[in-house]
Chains A and B, each alone.
Chain A
Amino acid sequence: MSLRGSASATLPPPAAQPADAGVAVHCKGVVKGYNTASTRVMALRGVDLQIRAGELMMLVGPSGCGKTTLISVIAGILDRDEGECSVFGHDFAAMSSGQRTRFRGENVGFVFQAFNLLPALTAAQNVAVPLLINGLPQREAIKAGREMLARVGLGDRTDSLPRELSGGQQQRVAIARALVHKPRLIVCDEPTSALDHDTGHVIMRLLKSVALDKDRALVIVTHDARIFGFADRIALMDDGHITGISRPETPTATPAAN
């Protein structure tokens, strides 16, 4: 069970059994609370969730129900308080902070609502960032960045700065950035809510066609009902719990590319 790159050498062995080979994310009884000035807010109150490799899982629910908190825990940028959670058999809680950082760098791709591109870098340079983080030389990284941009349909805008791109184009750059290092898990928080309806659909189709892979899982947090159809499964969340798993009523499962 080897993950990409050399990180696996320094990681503890996966906790999960070979029977779970197709499991990308495994959460059981995950609890997470935040301390505020007055009280402790329980954002996750025992979340059970399994996401399989090759699956696009959407996480939906009312505002404040804990969606962002859950994907932050899954992506390893937030520590859980209790429960089990592993990604491809690896438990962040068992790693040192250096190992965790490294694991994220090699295995997790991020897409943010606010894009979070580096404003001073061109599109190709932005896309190259995860490769640079993983130690690839700059030339190769940027070359790979250009190629990835071509795959998301921005082959002609590789040298544009983020501010010269539309919101939809910026999000495509962000998707290219999330994919360029071939991570096994991609987490997206509200990837379409800063975009109009049509652009949102373009982005979702792109994610589904370019990002999805049999070895990769996609978790998308959204309350944009217009894109529910793109999900393989939808996890409904409320008040820190998963209250149900459903399949989309009108699957847009095999949309035309782009």
Chain B
Amino acid sequence: MNALALRMLLGDRAKFLGIVFGIGFAAFLITQQVSIFVGLMARTFGFLTDASLPQVWVMDPKVQFIDDLKPLQDTQLYRVRGVEGVAWAMPLYKGLLRARLANGAFQTCNVIGIDDSTLIGGPPEMLHGRIEDLRRADGVVVDDVGASGKLARPAPVDPSTGKPIGKPTPLRVGDFLELNDHRAVVVGICRVSRTFQSQPVVYTTYTRAVTFAPRERKLLSFVVASVSPGRDVESVAARIRAQTGLAAYTSGEFKRMTVLYFMRYTGIPLNFGIAVVLGFLVGTAIAGQTFYNFTLDNLRQFGALKAMGTGNLRLLRMILLQALLVGFIGYGLGVGSASLFAFVPLGELAFMLLPQTLAITGAAIVLICLAASLLSIQKVMRLEPAIVFKG
């Protein structure tokens, strides 16, 4: 009987494809939107992903997320180093400084100052030059997107048309830069994870970063630390909190805090939520409508099956099986086509497909199938077998 139910559905090619399309559409939209959402959210802590060595981040207790800067006094570094279980602790400067370009224009940069001797917290990948060159006088490392974009030397302008001739020249190793009126020389180009901040990222040593920065009483943004081998990261973080009165989070906790902050204080989840709900509703509408039409078309057949001795329970199973089949195929097509986005070389596209997303989409598709078949089930359950004799 189950094979029969499937043949019935497959026999009506147009409706079958219609239902699969509806479900596939929903699966596609849900997977794609959730993945872009996840990708965007992962960008919020891109800097934390890049700085992979530190296990514990120590900061002012009022800090809510990674770009929320409430600097500490330099002496806090030594207090953290004094906590038992801390293997090492390094200073980290993070701040927005103005760079002056060759044409006189200003561009705000996200300047990261890392420990002079260990260079812990540096960029994950160097494209040109070496990170050690930061130790050379005035050395900075610039990220490639910034170097070829906002920090690039603009193309000369044709005086007659006012339009630029040719392309801007990217910043290269050996080029100069003026950061907050201090001279800097580019010693390397790096690649960093994209973050929510669109400013160019400039790495330099901690000491140099604080000289670039405007004079302030406190300049130490974070203390980054690692725990001694065999020590539990969370309990060491707790000890840092207890002994210094500062906030100390594991890198995972800090990422979570950052994501939650963005989710709570930006409209991003809501916007994606709306897209997901729309996908869900539209998919349900298309699939439900077509499935119902399919059932109506086959009402006489269902009536005949009833008259010939098919019970309601068996018909229910048949309809659910039909729904399951289209759900399965639609899910595969939708998720499959959505996952192609992962291979599309659209640099700007934040797309991160997690196994959890596949599960969420799967659950949504199950709901859609149930909702779509509900009307049909109700219709067939109430069907009087006597209709088979009606002309």
Contacts and interface: CB of A to CB of B under 8 A. Distances in A.
Given A112-B388, A119-B11, A125-B4, A75 B309 contact: no
Given A77-B385, A112-B389, A120-B12, A125 B7 contact: yes
A118 interface: yes
Contacts of B1: 132-133
B303 to A, nearest CB: 8
A101 B7 contact: no
Given A71-B389, A112-B304, A121-B4, A130 B309 contact: yes
A113 B306 CA distance: 17
A121 B4 CA distance: 8
A136 to B, nearest CB: 10
Interface residues of A, number: 32
Contacts of B391: 113-114, 190
Contact of A118 (B301, B307, B311, B314): B301
A121 B304 contact: no
B346 interface: no
Contacts of B173: none
Interface stretch (A8-16, A102-110, A198-206, A230-238): A102-110
Contacts of B246: none
Q: How large is the interface on B (under 10, 10 to 19, 20 to 34, 35 or more residues)?
A: 20 to 34
A106 B386 CA distance: 18
B344 interface: no
Contacts of A246: none
B307 A104 contact: yes
A95 interface: no
Contact of A120 (B11, B305, B307, B311): B11
Interface string B275-303: 00000000000000000000000001101
A189 interface: yes
A73 to B, nearest CB: 9
B386 A77 contact: yes
A99 to B, nearest CB: 10
A130 B307 CA distance: 10
Given A118-B8, A120-B7, A120-B10, A133 B386 contact: no
A138 B3 contact: yes
B7 A121 contact: yes
Interface in A105-157: 105-106, 108, 110, 112-114, 116, 118-121, 125, 129-130, 132-134, 138
A24 B390 CA distance: 25
B382 to A, nearest CB: 13
B310 interface: yes
Contacts of B303: 116
Contacts of B308: 104-105, 108, 110, 129-130, 133
Given A114-B300, A118-B4, A132-B4, A75 B10 contact: no
Chain B interface SS verdict (over half): helix
A98 B389 CA distance: 21
A119 B10 CA distance: 11
A114 B1 CA distance: 22
B386 A78 contact: yes
B386 A72 contact: yes
A169 interface: no
Contacts of B301: 116, 118-119
> Which of the listed residues A98, A113, A118 has the most CB atoms from chain B within 10 Å of its own CB?
A118
Nearest to B1: A132
Given A110-B304, A116-B304, A133-B1, A101 B311 contact: yes
Contacts of A209: none
A68 B391 CA distance: 10
A65 to B, nearest CB: 14
A103 B385 CA distance: 14
Interface string A17-37: 000000000000000000000
B307 A110 contact: yes
A101 B312 CA distance: 9
Contacts of B384: 77-78
A12 B7 CA distance: 37
Interface in A36-71: 68, 71
A68 B160 CA distance: 93
Nearest to B390: A68
A120 B298 CA distance: 11
Given A77-B307, A98-B311, A129-B308, 19 more contacts: A77-B386, A77-B388, A77-B389, A101-B310, A101-B311, A108-B309, A110-B388, A112-B389, A113-B391, A116-B301, A116-B303, A118-B7, A118-B301, A121-B8, A130-B309, A132-B1, A133-B314, A134-B309, A189-B389
Pairs A-B, 3 closest by C-beta atoms: A105-B309, A120-B11, A77-B385
23 contacts: A75-B307, A77-B306, A77-B388, A101-B310, A101-B311, A102-B309, A106-B309, A110-B388, A112-B304, A113-B389, A114-B391, A118-B8, A118-B301, A120-B8, A120-B9, A120-B11, A129-B4, A129-B305, A129-B308, A130-B308, A130-B309, A133-B310, A138-B3
Interface of B: 1, 3-4, 7-12, 300-301, 303-311, 314, 384-386, 388-391
Interface of A: 68, 71-72, 75, 77-78, 98, 101-106, 108, 110, 112-114, 116, 118-121, 125, 129-130, 132-134, 138, 189-190
